[in-house]
Amino acid sequence: MWHRLSDRIRPIRFGVALVLTALLGLGVSVANAQNSRTILRTGNPTPSVVTTGSGDYYIEFRARYAWDYGHTYLVHGRVGVPPTKADVAGLSPVGDDSTAWVIGHYVPVPAETGWTDGDLENKYVTARYRVLMNKDEYDRVLTYIKGLQDRSHVWSAELYNCNAFVGDVAKFMGLKVPASSLIYPKVFVTHLRLLNTGHPEAAETLVSDNVKEMSNPTRDGRAMINNHVYTIGANGEPESRVVRATPAPHVTIGQVRVSSRAGN
């Protein structure tokens, strides 16, 4: 579904469009990304915030629902002060339609690095991990984030996606980062949290957890259904309860080659 789902969320901000190479080895086909639209179900409760560190400022890594794969991004600010659009950073294709996202599976496309529609909606969050710090630490990290935004001009599903962008910030902070960026945003942020909160065994379950998420009937998109933005129609496809939008174009991206390289 490529058009806007409502006035409150722009689902084409997909953070990552692929799965680990291991999935292909298991015989899982990603030939048609649109097939995932048919498995939307009622959503899960918004995850609680897991916090480490100390101080009055924070960097919070988040994954949120989007129509197919989700989006990974971060929110920063002072504890107790509601974040604004200016407090969000992430990497996503430029534009409000699916064109750049589809092309980005083949070649890098122009990117933007700020707030996208839905980022500040708690009900769409699928995973979160907050790191507290003092003002000096926060200022150093914020300077790095701003610099990363300034030099991040393209998005590529395989070469540099939203997971990779957020992972670079986490590495600068001295955090352990999942071994691949070619995984679902929810899995990426969940494993980022586990790796940095005393669960080293999480590194061994990255592939298996990503496979589970791929087949999870409640993965990306069901928060919108749960919150009555959309419902499932008689044909198994989502239907708007707000606006009867025109059907989205059927997009077939063909067999996608994914890299076995770890990290970026």
Percent of the chain surpassing pLDDT 70: 62
> Range of 167's domain?
21-240
The stretch 45-55 carries a mean pLDDT of 84
In a domain, 97, yes or no: yes
pLDDT tier, 233 (very low <50, low <70, confident <90, very high otherwise): low
In a domain, 7, yes or no: no
pTM (whole model) above 0.75: no
Higher pLDDT pick, 85 / 219: 85
pLDDT tier, 232 (very low <50, low <70, confident <90, very high otherwise): very low
Neighbours of 253 (CB within 10 A): 18
In a domain, 255, yes or no: no
pLDDT of residue 216: 67
Q: 79-137, pLDDT tens digit by residue?
A: 999 999 999 999 999 876 667 877 888 899 999 999 988 899 888 898 999 999 999 99
pLDDT of residue 103: 87
In a domain, 2, yes or no: no
In a domain, 64, yes or no: yes
Summary mean pLDDT of the chain: 73
Q: CA dist 30 to 10, 23, 68, Å?
A: 23, 9, 12
Q: 16-43, pLDDT tens digit by residue?
A: 333 333 333 322 222 222 222 222 333 4
In a domain, 254, yes or no: no
How many domains does the chain contain in total?
A: 1
pLDDT of residue 45: 62
In a domain, 195, yes or no: yes
Higher pLDDT pick, 72 / 70: 72
Higher pLDDT pick, 196 / 227: 196
In a domain, 16, yes or no: no
The contacts of residue 134 (CB under 8 Å, 6+ apart) are 54, 55, 56, 57
Q: 144-203, pLDDT tens digit by residue?
A: 999 999 999 999 989 999 999 999 999 999 999 999 999 999 999 999 999 999 999 999
